[in-house]
Amino acid sequence: MTLPDSLSWLPVDPSLSSVTLMLLGMMLSISILADVVARRTFLPRISLLVLVGVGVAVVQQVVLGQQGGAPLGGLSEPLIQVALVMVAFLLGGELTLDRLRSLGPLILIVSISVIGVGTLAVGVGLLALGFPVVVAVSLAAISVATDPAAVQETVRASGDTRLRARLLLGIVAIDDGWGIVVFGLAMAILGWMLSGDGELALLEAAWELGGAILLGTAIGLPAAWLTGRLARGEPTQLEALALILLLAGISSWLGVSSLLAAMVTGALVANLSRHHTRSFNEIELIEWPFLVFFFVLSGASIDLYRFGDALGLTLAYILLRLFGRYLGGLLGVRLARKRQADLPGNIGLALTPQAGVAMGMALLAAERFPEHGPMLLSAVVGSTVVFEMLGPLLVKKVLR
């Protein structure tokens, strides 16, 4: 960036680093305003932050004429990954043995029902509308992923501790694990059908899933033992941040699911450490600024010029996914009635937020099937913005 000649005498340094720092400061400042607006209206602050991100995309692409992409450049991806790993680690902490004994069957019944019905609704619906098999199967698999950050933050802000709130936290803690399995199998089937390399796709999916479990165990076991032993019986914020950065970095380096690895680590720390609640409290203290960056950057990642090319597919995907989630949740609640009657029939709608994991899956699908890549990416990014704004409202509705 350069200054106009008339202002060249000013001692101003409009370098990339200074602009990046200003953007980070502006995002955090806007989050304060979003808090104020959220408290005075019915809008969740997550939806407001995503809307801010869309505004950033409009300024960047329409006003400044720049191509779509992350406004922070190479810094966007690590910020998003760290935020997601923090959320996944905290959600893993919800999977204690006591909670699994009491809620485990309910979590499995409702989550499998939502996933099964939702996947069929999206896949069959898109095929019936005439979209290509690759697009329909890929989006059906991508539809499984849920944004744990949006659900967790909305539940936490509500202060709800009833069964439905605890069940939602348990479901989103394992949803991305299901998503990885379903997506890996879908890519394997498509690869086998189209090019005969289904075996390689299946091996890649097995590594992403199995490698994440191994990494989470390798980090979680020593972390559970060390937590609270290095600083007079209490974990420090430094320990917590080191754990998150190691999980994010090593999982990216190995090509395994950072979310699943962080969930496994969180579950091990929660079940094996005497001071596990303090460990999670330390991460909660530093989590929100990273979530602000995550939600704003999710909205800013939309490519407005390509969005129109896949508008029909995007609308169909949004409606079919909402329908599938609602129907799957309704079926799951009816199947679980004998175990627990205090569940709303529309609980599946609370599982509609979708963000980083879905975008990552879309990128992988676009790389494997480049002829359908632009359509898939446009549909997923566009729908993600809608789901991130609409999802928290639906979570609040279900909790009410």
Can you tell me which residue has the tokens 């609308």?
A: 315
**Longest alpha-carbon distance in the chain:** 77
pLDDT of residue 320: 92
Q: Is the pTM of this model over 0.85?
A: no
Can you tell me which residue has the tokens 């932050």?
A: 49
Q: Which residues contact 122 (CB under 8 A, 6 or more apart)?
A: 136, 139, 140, 143, 317, 320, 321, 324
The answer to whether residues 391 and 322 touch, using CB atoms and an 8 Å cutoff, is no
Min mean pLDDT across 53-62, 154-163, 372-381 is at 154-163
pLDDT of residue 7: 46
Can you tell me which residue has the tokens 């699994």?
A: 100
- Sequence ranges of the domains in the chain: 78-399
Distance in angstroms (rounded) separating the CA atoms of residues 276 and 149: 20
Tell me if the domain spanning 78-399 has CATH number 3.30.470.20: no
How many Cα neighbours within 13 Å face the side chain of 379?
Answer: 30
The answer to whether residues 374 and 362 touch, using CB atoms and an 8 Å cutoff, is no
- SS3 state at 162: coil
How many Cα neighbours within 13 Å face the side chain of 18?
Answer: 6
pLDDT of residue 329: 82
Angle, helices 76-92/148-158, rounded to nearest 10 degrees:
60
Tokens of 296: 């704003």
Task: Please tell me what DSSP assigns to residue 63.
Answer: I
40-49 pLDDT per residue, tens: 776 667 777 7
308-350 pLDDT per residue, tens: 667 888 899 999 999 998 898 888 878 776 555 577 777 778 8
Neighbour-count burial for 308-337, b at 16+ CB within 10 Å, e otherwise: eebeebbebbbebbbbbbbbbbbbbbeebe
- Percent pLDDT > 90 in the chain is 3
Distance in angstroms (rounded) separating the CA atoms of residues 254 and 65: 37
Select from 116, 112, 34, 60 the least CA-distant residue to 392. Answer: 34
Can you tell me which residue has the tokens 């597919």?
A: 313
- Give one word for 232, left, alpha or beta, with left for phi > 0 and alpha for psi -120 to 50: left
Select from 56, 144, 70 the least CA-distant residue to 357. Answer: 144
The answer to whether residues 336 and 106 touch, using CB atoms and an 8 Å cutoff, is yes
